[in-house]
Amino acid sequence: MEELVSIIVPVYNAERFIKETMDCVVAQTCPRWELLLVEDGSSDRTVSVIEDYIREYGEKRIRLIRQPQNLGAARARNRGLEEASGRYVAYLDADDLWVPEKLERELAFMKEKNAAFAFTGYEFVNEDGRSTGKVVRVPETLSYRQALKNTTIFTTTVMFDTDKIDRDLLEMPIMKSEDTALWWKILRNGYTAYGLDENLVKYRRAGRSLSSNKLEAIRRIWNLYRKAEGMGVLNSAWHFCFWAVRAVKRRV
């Protein structure tokens, strides 16, 4: 029997996209999954949309978990991790999409590589979910040193095997760019990230204020080098130059 995959989705004011995101999970060819929707204090109709979906489809594998207030994506993912029952954990953002074979292909890949941490390729799509023509290729592996210079790992593509990585290590740091900080923390502890170079994810760019604010992105990554990794100014600047070049190439 296939192992259970726990899918963790932080949800905040996502009424416009969350039904389509739930649809892409229900359409997965992987037979054993649970979907944990961690609602983070939305002020729109997000909760109603999720509750209507669960009632209409009778989908018992979907759970709505409500935070007491808006605490941010990192704490929402950590709450989902606490509630997760599966051996494997996958992250999905509330406005992103998976192709139907995503979980099945990535799970098989992890077993083939005996991997604790995997990520996949992806493509940028517009607000309506249509491809922009930009597909991001991923390397076969990433070590800690390589990841410091490379922004390839995207949150909606990752999967972890909690039989190989302690769940405490998967807890996201409470800081900006918490996802990148988590990848670095895991890899710093001696793990390798394995890349499945297949386009299995659709990354919806429209309306993502943090990603579109270039100065804010620069500040966040710089702070990761200086504060999360404790690097000096020169070492931070050296790694930052590589990060900047790859970030531009990824989006052009």
User: Residue 150's closest CA among 159, 140, 160?
Assistant: 140
User: Residue 148's closest CA among 250, 209, 224?
Assistant: 224
Q: Say what the pTM is.
A: 0.90
pLDDT of res. 178? 92
The 10 Å CB-count burial string (b at 16+, else e) for 1-13 is: eeebbbbbbbbbe
Q: How far apart are the first and last CA of the chain?
A: 43
- CATH ID of 5-208, from 3.90.550.10, 3.40.50.800, 3.40.50.2300, 1.10.3720.10: 3.90.550.10
d(CA 193, CA 182): 12
Yes or no: say if 179 and 208 are a contact pair by the CB < 8 Å rule.
no
Pairing status of strand 33-39 against strand 62-66: parallel
User: Residue 35's closest CA among 80, 67, 101?
Assistant: 80
User: Residue 148's closest CA among 243, 226, 249?
Assistant: 243
d(CA 194, CA 197): 9
For residue 247, give the H/E element and its range. helix 233-251
Query: What residue ranges in 21-175 does DSSP mark as E strands?
Result: 33-39, 62-66, 88-91, 97-98, 117-125, 131-136, 141-142, 159-161
Q: Mean pLDDT in runs of 10 for the chain (252 residues)?
A: 92 97 97 97 96 91 95 97 98 98 98 98 93 93 91 94 97 91 95 98 71 69 78 78 66 54
Domain ranges of the chain: 5-208
Yes or no: say if 38 and 80 are a contact pair by the CB < 8 Å rule.
yes
Annotate 61-79 with DSSP letters as a single string.
TEEEEE-SS---HHHHHHH
pLDDT of res. 249? 61
Yes or no: say if 121 and 131 are a contact pair by the CB < 8 Å rule.
no
User: Residue 58's closest CA among 95, 104, 26?
Assistant: 26
pLDDT of res. 151? 75
pLDDT of res. 210? 44
Yes or no: say if 149 and 135 are a contact pair by the CB < 8 Å rule.
no
Tokens 């192709």 appear where? Answer: 99
Yes or no: say if 97 and 24 are a contact pair by the CB < 8 Å rule.
yes
